[in-house]
Copies of this chain bind each other. A is one copy, B any other.
């Protein structure tokens, strides 16, 4: 159930790049029959190694051309502050990632907005929901790499 061999890795690698291909093509790619391949994919799904399949959209074409990383500090250590913060970021669709980092009271947020004005609106909404002692934004000038493919 946890044993992932070379063929499984090849399958996963192919599906990370393109989840649309038929089992026929996938099987050919990894040197397996359509059916043997299907069974392995099924196991990988049921064991949760494959979490789900999704469509990846183009941010530019949706008017979300500005990617921003927001560094957040708080002085507040209420037991439920974090809970409130977590709930807030989950409800804001522009926020793609939010992480509690090493270094005690540091949080990092990754968001996508249309422009600087739109970022400011996001910022205002965020500080209205939870109190943050220090917030600093860094904007992405150039995307050298961005992928959902994990190393296998």
Contact = CB atoms under 8 A, between A and B. Distances in A.
Nearest to A118: B151
Each complex incorporates copies of this chain amounting to 2
Contacts of A51: 55-58
Nearest to A94: B151
B49 A57 contact: yes
Nearest to A2: B61
Interface string A21-35: 000000000000000
A50 B59 contact: no
A20 B52 contact: yes
Contact of A15 (B50, B54, B102): B54
A17 B52 CA distance: 8
A16 B54 contact: yes
A79 interface: no
A123 interface: no
Contact of A99 (B62, B86, B89, B142): B142
Contacts of A20: 52-53
